[in-house]
Every structure is written in structure tokens, then in C-alpha cells.
Amino acid sequence: MAEIAEQLGCSPNKVVYWMEKHGIERRDISEAIYQWHNPDGDPFDIQTLETEEQRDLFQLAIGLYIGEGKKQSDADVSLSNTEPRVIQVFLRFIREICRVDEEKIFAWINVFDDAQLERAQSYWEEVTRLSSSQFYKAVVRPRR
């Protein structure tokens, strides 16, 4: 709103007034943030599910997300799980069905303080087929 007001040389309140007067709906804040972070359009380019295998993968991934996914943000999609096959299936969905650019896929590792962090990092790089630069700094927790 402020950007439009600045371009028109008026106050944001005046822009809101004109929008209401002409029946122009305002985006909610989450949609505005999403648009701001994705100026080139939706980063998810979900393909038409043409095969039974694609439909199965889609349904499985949605089920995984419902059960294990983080739902506090509209800005990202994440899944927490320690089972390698679960992670691999979800990543396959992200890569093949959603067609998310590989450089936009990131992961993080949570380990206990008595674990071998470098070994864990190497293991998950192999499982996920992600480079070390695609992992955020590991979260190391004390064992109770």
C-alpha cells in the first residue's frame, strides 16, 4: 500500500479509500508477503498427475505433510522425520511433482551432543542428494 501511495504522491489511507470506493479487494497480509517473496509467480509448478504412480506419490506426500509437516508458515514447506525413506519420498514429490528448483531445497539436522555431527551430515547429504551448502547449521541438543 505504501509503495502505491508513494508512486501516486498521496497517503496510504487515500489509496485504501479509492480501493474501497471502486470495489477493489485488498490482499490479506499472508498473500502479500507470499507475492513479495515470489515476484515471478508461484514457485510450485505442480504438473498434471498423468500416471497412477504420480497420483500415488502425490497422495502419499500430502499424507506425510498432514502428519509430519510444519504448518505454521505459508512461506515454506517442511517435513520433520528421521526415517530416510520418508524423507526421500517427500523430496521426490517436491522435485518431480512440484518441480521446485533444486537450489531452493534446504534441510537441517537435529542431533544430540554425543552424536558425530560430520558423520550425520554426510549421511543425510547422501540420503537427500543435497549438497552441504543446502543444509542449515545443525541443531545440537543435549542428551537428557
Burial of 19 (0-12, 13-18, 19+ CB in 10 A): middle
Q: Helix, strand, coil proportions of the chain in percent (round to 5)?
A: 50, 10, 40
Residue 10 confidence (pLDDT): 93
* Residue finishing a domain among 68, 83, 99: 99
Taking each helix axis from N to C end, the angle separating 52-68 and 84-92, rounded to the nearest 10 degrees, works out to 120
Tell if the pTM clears 0.75, that is, is over it.
no
Q: What is the pLDDT of residues 37-87, one digit of tens each?
A: 888 877 776 778 889 999 999 999 999 999 988 877 777 788 888 899 999
Q: What is the pLDDT of residue 2?
A: 84
Range of the domain at 15: 2-37
Domains identified in the chain, total number: 3
Together in a domain, 50 and 94: yes
The answer to whether the CB of 61 falls within 8 A of the CB of 89 is: yes
What is the per-residue pLDDT for 123? 95
Q: Tell whether 93 and 114 lie within a shared domain.
A: no
| Whether residues 56 and 88 fall in one domain | yes
Mean pLDDT of the chain, nearest integer: 89
Q: How confident is the model at residue 30 (pLDDT cuts 50, 70, 90)?
A: confident
pLDDT at 126 over 90: yes
Radius of gyration of the chain (CA): 21
Mean pLDDT of 101-127: 93
